Amino acid sequence: MVHKPVLLNEVVEALSPEDGRTYVDATFGGGGYSRRILETARCAVYAIDQDAVVKQYFDELLQSFPGRLNLSISRFSKLREVMISFGIDEVDGVVFDLGTSAMQLADSSRGFSFMNSGLLDMRMCSSSSRDAAMFVNTVPEKEMADIIYQYGGERYSRRVARAIVDARRKCKIRNTGDLATIIRSAVPRSRVHPIDPATRTFQAIRIWVNNELEELQAGLEAAAEILKIGGKVLVTSFHSLEDRVVKHKFRSLCDMGFSLVNKKVITPTDEEIKNNPRSRSVCAFTIGVFRVKFYVRDMQKSLVQVQKEIVKVNDEISALRAEWTALNNPERLTMLAAKYLRVTTT
Ligand SMILES: C[S@@+](CC[C@H](N)C(=O)[O-])C[C@H]1O[C@@H](n2cnc3c(N)ncnc32)[C@H](O)[C@@H]1O
């Protein structure tokens, strides 16, 4: 099973890789984006993925692009440290292709899909402290309902949480098949949106297990920090929660000297939706850095320097004042007058 990348042409075209440049593929997966970037220009790609299963796809791709591809099994939030460990402090572009890969969905033992029953896991990174079993068997009912509502947009979240808690009182929930059955019993099937009633709750649990929104926020911050003048960050997002984090972050970056490269978001063509139905809800956002970022950064550095100098000069003034007061002490002046001018006061 190989992952079919979404918006591949559009994203790589917007990134416009050039010879001799350096790019980060923050979501390596099956390596589809990395491959296209490396094919487009004689550039270097630093790939990151928190899921160690990607190593096999990396090894394969490396054979076609020796010396131009590197991998770190790590998370978005560690992006800056990863690049420093490679000895790189600035890059020309960063791409994030959010969501799960086809390989993760297809491996039922990992519990991402309710199509085939599997372990209640859903961790993208095997060393994560949270998993889906922890969510369904330990999280209190009210907190569970809030998470299912916020991360899954499930309007029957209270009913779902109640059904899960009732079921776990009887016996521990052991696999995704049982969980999906419990959820389906609590959510009526919609005629308007004929998706499986378990979809939204599974999405919420996956986001909670992998801390996805906080990771995305931290990853975008790190990407903005390491971007060169003229560099771009591209994010392919799958649902409105991700869209919201990206838009909010990009808006705040625009106040700091970044500019949106495309005012309009990139969406898939009808042809792509037909060939790859998974792409139907996807869209990509782009942001670029221009000189003003460095102007602002330089101004901030100068401001800090001026503030330090003000503190130093104020210290010197205080020291001079103290000295002046000591020199003008009347007793000292009387003593000096008596000694050198032979003047005495009565
Ligand atoms: C949709 S797939 C990427 C597919 C890839 N663009 C391709 O062409 O094959 C998303 C990948 O991002 C990884 N991922 C998700 N969140 C991550 C995070 N916070 N840090 C690192 N990798 C992450 C997942 O493990 C998954 O392999």
Taking only the tens of pLDDT, the chain with its 346 residues reads 778 888 899 899 989 999 999 999 999 999 999 999 999 999 999 999 999 999 999 999 999 999 999 999 999 999 999 999 999 999 999 999 999 999 999 998 999 988 888 899 999 998 899 999 999 999 999 999 999 999 999 999 999 999 999 999 999 999 999 999 999 999 988 777 778 999 999 999 999 999 999 999 999 999 998 988 888 899 998 888 988 998 888 888 877 777 777 767 788 888 888 888 777 777 777 676 554 455 566 677 788 889 999 999 999 999 999 999 999 999 989 888 888 887 766 6
- Which residue's CA lies nearest to atom 26 of ligand 1? 29
| pLDDT score recorded for residue 292 | 46
| pLDDT score recorded for residue 295 | 57
Q: Write the DSSP symbol of residue 171.
A: S
* Chain-centre distance for alpha carbon 155: 27
| pLDDT score recorded for residue 139 | 97
| pLDDT score recorded for residue 297 | 64
- Which residue's CA lies nearest to atom 12 of ligand 1? 27
User: Residues lining ligand 1, CB < 6 A?
Assistant: 3, 5, 27, 29-33, 48-51, 54, 75-76, 97, 99, 101, 124, 215
| pLDDT score recorded for residue 291 | 42
Angle between the N-to-C axes of helices 212-226 and 199-210, in degrees from 0 to 180, rounded to the nearest 10? 50
| pLDDT score recorded for residue 261 | 74
Per-residue CA distances from 337 to 323, 332, 343 (Å): 19, 9, 6
| pLDDT score recorded for residue 138 | 95
Choice from 101, 210, 215, 234 to test ligand 1 binding pocket (greatest atom count within 8 A of CB): 101
What is the Å distance from ligand 1's center to 292 Cα? 31
What is the Å distance from ligand 1's center to 259 Cα? 25
Task: Please measure the distance between the N-terminal and C-terminal CA atoms of the chain and give it in whole angstroms.
Answer: 106
Residues 3 and 28: beta-carbon distance below 8 Å: no
| pLDDT score recorded for residue 279 | 74
What is the Cα–Cα distance from 295 to 301, expressed in whole angstroms?
10
